[in-house]
Amino acid sequence: MSERVARLRMQHVKKAFGPTVALADVSLHAHAGEVLGLVGENGAGKSTLMKILAGVHAPDAGEIQLEGEPFTPCDPLAARQAGIAMIYQELALAPHLSVAENIVLGVEPGRGGMMDWRATQALARRALETVGLGELDSSLPVSALSLAARQLVEIGRAVVVGCRVLVLDEPTSSLAQSDIARLFKLVAQLKQSGIAIIYISHFLEEIRALCDRVTVLRDGRSVCEGDTKQFTDEQIVGQMVGRDVSELYPRSPRTPGEVVLSIRNVQGEIKPQRASLELRRGEVLGLAGLIGTGRTELLRLIFGLDHAVAGEIQVGLYSGFGSPGERWKQGVGLVSEDRKLEGLALDLSIAENITLTTLRARVYPAQQVEHARRWIERLGIRCHSPEQPVGQLSGGNQQKVAIARLLCHDVDVLLLDEPTRGIDLGAKATIYQQIDALACAGKAVLVVSSYLPELLGICDRIAVMCRGILGEAHPVSEIDGHRIMLEATGTSAPFL
Amino acid sequence: MNAALSPGHVQLRRWLVRAGPIFALVVVYVLFASLRFDRFVTWINTEIMLQQTAVIGVGAIGMTLVIISGGIDLSPGSVIAVASVVVALLLQHGCSPLVAALGGVGVGAFAGLCTGLLITRLQLMPFIVTLGTMGILRGAAKGLSNEQPIYPDETWLNSLMKLQHHNLPAGVWLMVALGAGIAWMLRYTKFGRHIFAIGSNEQTARLCGIHVGNTKVLVYMLATAFAGLAGVLQFSYLTCGDPTTAVGLELNIIAAVVIGGASLAGGSGTVTGTLIGGMIMTVVNNGCAKMDMPNWVQEIVTGFIIVAAVTLDRLRRKAR
């Protein structure tokens, strides 16, 4: 095997930004017609490694070979022309332009600066057919497509220019189950066609289902590499975090108290259509279901961000709908699923973000910093100082800041929307611990998540949303992943 | 699998965006026509309205490029003044009219080159940089002319904006031709499509290997060159180089682009929309004048139209 010339080989790659060493020593290789899984916590150096490959950064040391030839891309265009294609987590499409134009962007057919629209259409058609979107009208603006379709368009863009190495960076983080299956089929098909695929993911079951080999990164080093089959999940996770994680989902004995949040037959403008639930003190209630079925909308509705057209909401002693400001006063806090756009003020400091909802008329900066320091320590937020802008932190640490705001406010009801999306295992573990500790302290937690093992791990009860209608909540001991999926896809009547 | 909105729905929305400004233009025209048919609907008044649109229109064609690319330019008013002064000075020093006109356009293009380089190389905010150049160029115009209008001898440049009675002024034809040219460029050249891509998602454009910096510099250069040309037309209209002309005109130019359906967030906009947006404002001003309404009424009405245009745009977006 190793005698064969690899499609891509990176050897002892190093990269430092000033005093911070992003990559200490990374080696990996990927053959044609093979899927290489790349796993590691956020901050392990995956994104830096990919940026080097994409020609955004140049490595300080080490060698990259493409089909045995030295490969030193000077800019993204050079990397693209050499056949390296990246599908980033934040999809890189221009929403106003048509599907066809996005596919040819940067490599437009035509001579002397002119657009050849006919060739553009033909290229787009070929790309869409490859990714199984043959029936899609390529003149539609990308903004009219669903997230899953956009991702396929982007893969089409990579394939149509003849890519040799395709990098997928956590492609499933925002896809529904059915779209994931479709993506997997496409990846298998692209692998057959002889493309070398590097698949980055936090989900080990995906790595297991898709990847022939796996390389684990930790603290800027490639710490282990081999056939996927030869490792157990525990071994891989152990290599990723460099410590034992058998207790990922802590669950202390909790006793549910009185009801603090009760909603009856609530209906939003579009979604949800009907939702009722009761949330007790000392309880973690999970909301499962496919993406786009109205789980996020339900949280927003409870929190007063969206308008409700019918139903009743009662928070503690208060009954009726309320604005977000009133909800905070009633002891309800929300962590948004979109921490970049909605959850956090990225340009403001950690201290400002944590204390944003607890400010009084007169602000004492020293006190803000003092508060922040306490939460930074308790949640293990990795930063230079409380005055550091939140935007400079890694995803996991940003999420900890978002949660710290609720803790600092000392809310009784926590509404958490995808609290661990796109963050590393270490940060996930911290957040699970906090949720457990909060429930033990008598707080009530409502969690929306698309990651079933997580819901099953941390929740006391789970309710499933299907097509805007919220089902009955089941104790976690009486439900498993299979039954949740059945209920979420509406293939069986909700359990009684 | 619900991969997309229905194509029909999207086509309808696209059509609404395109037709909205034309519809608005017809409405205001018919409104004034029904109020003052005798004085409003005449050949000479139509010609005057087109003549009044020419300066704003030419400037707005350039502004359309800037706004599609996601930027903003506050300097056109000052560029128009400085260009008119430069044209007058060059004519006074015995240059041929063509050289003088090119000088006016060149001054504009140079200003745009500087702004573009500042914005892209130093990563400065376009709003602030062009707020600065707006002041610098206005001051330069006053300095060059000793704060006095300059009246050079008459040449064919003065007749560009003259009313012709049987034909439209040359300046109007120039606006139409340039509009057509730029509309074509936006649609059929890579440069044009790259402007849209940058305005829609700059990160993506960079990732796809588009030279974002150079494209933007070129956009600002083109835009201010058009403002320079608008300055030549203004010179022709006034028959002098006036350092105090066109104060605040940049806001009318931006308004024309926005009324024409462009989004200030970038990524969308059309030249036809922009020109129609310019026409709407002229028709309102002209119509109010024919109704013998005082100036302040015109200003209020124009203000309302701008607010209405962005409100409509907002509603269109929400309707999806």
* pLDDT digits 0-9 by tens, A398-411: 999 999 999 998 99
Question: Per the CB < 8 Å rule, is B190 touching A178?
Answer: no
- The residue among A241, A273, A306 that closes a domain is A241
Q: In total, how many domains does chain A have? A: 2
Give the count of alpha carbons within 13 A of B111, CB side only.
35
Residue B270 has a pLDDT of 92
Mutation target for A interface from B10, B188, B190: give the one with most A CBs within 10 A. B190
Chain B residue nearest residue A99, CA to CA: B4
CA distance A98 to A108: 13
In sign, the C-alpha dihedral spanning B22, B23, B26, B31 is negative
Query: A233 and A302 share a domain?
Result: no
Q: Is the residue at A251 inside a domain?
A: no
Q: Which of A78-82, A324-328, B144-148, B310-314 has the lowest mean pLDDT?
A: B310-314
Distance from CA of A303 to the nearest CA of B (A): 22
Contact (Cβ atoms closer than 8 angstroms) between residue A96 and residue B203: no
Residue A384 has a pLDDT of 84
Question: Percent of chain B having pLDDT more than 90?
Answer: 57
Tokens of A478: 């009486």
Q: Where are the alpha helices (DSSP H) in A176-266?
A: 177-192, 204-210, 233-241
CA distance A109 to A475: 58
Distance from CA of A487 to the nearest CA of B (A): 19
Q: Is the residue at A246 inside a domain?
A: no
Contact (Cβ atoms closer than 8 angstroms) between residue A445 and residue A333: no
Cα–Cα distances in angstroms (integers) from residue A256 to residues A437, A442, A444, A460, A476, in the given order: 14, 8, 9, 9, 14
CA distance A114 to A116: 6
Query: A214 and A312 share a domain?
Result: no
Residue B70 has a pLDDT of 94
**Residue A363 binned pLDDT confidence (cut-offs 50, 70, 90):** confident
The mean pLDDT of A277-287, rounded to a whole number, is 94
Whether B11 has a pLDDT exceeding 70, the answer reads no
Question: Per the CB < 8 Å rule, is B4 touching A145?
Answer: yes
Q: Give the tens place of pLDDT for each residue, A298-348.
A: 999 999 888 889 999 999 888 888 888 889 889 999 998 888 778 888 888
CA distance B288 to B291: 5
CATH number, domain of A408, equals: 3.40.50.300
Query: A311 and A445 share a domain?
Result: yes
Degrees, nearest 5: CA angle A393-A397-A400: 140
Question: Percent of chain A having pLDDT more than 70?
Answer: 95
CATH no. of B21-28+37-314: 1.10.3470
Q: In chain B, what residues touch A120 (CB-CB under 8 Å)? A: none
Residue A19 has a pLDDT of 66
The mean pLDDT of B200-223, rounded to a whole number, is 88
Of B4, B196, B206, the CB nearest to A146: B4
Q: Give the tens place of pLDDT for each residue, A108-127.
A: 888 888 888 999 999 999 99
Contact (Cβ atoms closer than 8 angstroms) between residue B133 and residue B107: no
Terminal CA-CA length for chain B: 19
Q: Is the residue at A254 inside a domain?
A: no
Residue B10 has a pLDDT of 63
Mutation target for A interface from B208, B268, B317: give the one with most A CBs within 10 A. B208
Query: A66 and A168 share a domain?
Result: yes
Question: Per the CB < 8 Å rule, is A136 touching B4?
Answer: yes
- The residue among A241, A275, A293 that closes a domain is A241
- The residue among A211, A241, A271 that closes a domain is A241
Query: A237 and A267 share a domain?
Result: no
**Residue A42 binned pLDDT confidence (cut-offs 50, 70, 90):** low
Mean pLDDT of chain B: 89
CA distance A322 to B81: 55
| β-strands A35-39, A213-218 pairing | parallel
CA distance A146 to B4: 6
Distance from CA of A116 to the nearest CA of B (A): 8
Question: Per the CB < 8 Å rule, is B210 touching A105?
Answer: yes
**Residue A199 binned pLDDT confidence (cut-offs 50, 70, 90):** very high
Query: A20 and A78 share a domain?
Result: yes
Query: A351 and A435 share a domain?
Result: yes
Model ipTM?
A: 0.71
Query: A161 and A299 share a domain?
Result: no
Q: Give the tens place of pLDDT for each residue, A137-186.
A: 988 989 888 888 888 898 888 888 788 999 998 888 777 778 888 899 99
Residue A198 has a pLDDT of 94
Question: Per the CB < 8 Å rule, is B210 touching A106?
Answer: yes
Mean pLDDT of chain A: 86
Of B4, B10, B190, the CB nearest to A110: B190
Of B3, B190, B196, the CB nearest to A96: B196
Q: Give the tens place of pLDDT for each residue, B14-40.
A: 676 677 788 889 988 998 889 888 888
**Residue B316 binned pLDDT confidence (cut-offs 50, 70, 90):** low
Query: A71 and A15 share a domain?
Result: yes
Q: Which of A78-87, A241-250, B152-161 has the lowest mean pLDDT?
A: A241-250
Residue B51 has a pLDDT of 92
CA distance B182 to B180: 6
Q: Is the residue at A117 inside a domain?
A: yes
Find the domain containing A124 and state its range: 8-241
Say how many residues make up chain B. Answer: 320
Q: Is the residue at A495 inside a domain?
A: no
CA distance A438 to B280: 61
Residues of A with CB under 8 A from a CB of B: 54, 75-77, 80-81, 86, 88, 92-97, 101, 105-108, 110, 113-115, 117, 133, 136-137, 140-141, 144-146, 148-149, 178
What's the predicted TM-score (pTM) here? Answer: 0.72
Cβ contacts below 8 Å, chain A against chain B, sum to: 93
Cα–Cα distances in angstroms (integers) from residue B319 to residues A245, A305, A486, B5, B11, in the given order: 48, 19, 34, 12, 14
Residue A3 has a pLDDT of 56
Q: Give the tens place of pLDDT for each residue, A463-491.
A: 999 888 999 999 988 888 778 877 877 76
Tokens of A255: 């006793």
The mean pLDDT of B189-198, rounded to a whole number, is 90
Q: Give the tens place of pLDDT for each residue, A52-88.
A: 998 888 899 999 999 888 988 888 888 888 889 888 8
Query: A205 and A264 share a domain?
Result: no
Q: Give the tens place of pLDDT for each residue, B225-283.
A: 999 999 999 999 999 999 999 998 999 999 999 989 888 888 889 999 999 999 998 99
Query: A237 and A321 share a domain?
Result: no
Cα–Cα distances in angstroms (integers) from residue B255 to residues A138, B60, B249, B258, B278, in the given order: 33, 9, 10, 5, 8
Query: A199 and A320 share a domain?
Result: no
Distance from CA of B67 to the nearest CA of A (A): 14
Residues of B with CB under 8 A from a CB of A: 1-5, 7, 10, 187-193, 196-197, 199-201, 203-210, 267-268
Residue with tokens 């955004």: A56
Whether A1 has a pLDDT exceeding 50, the answer reads no
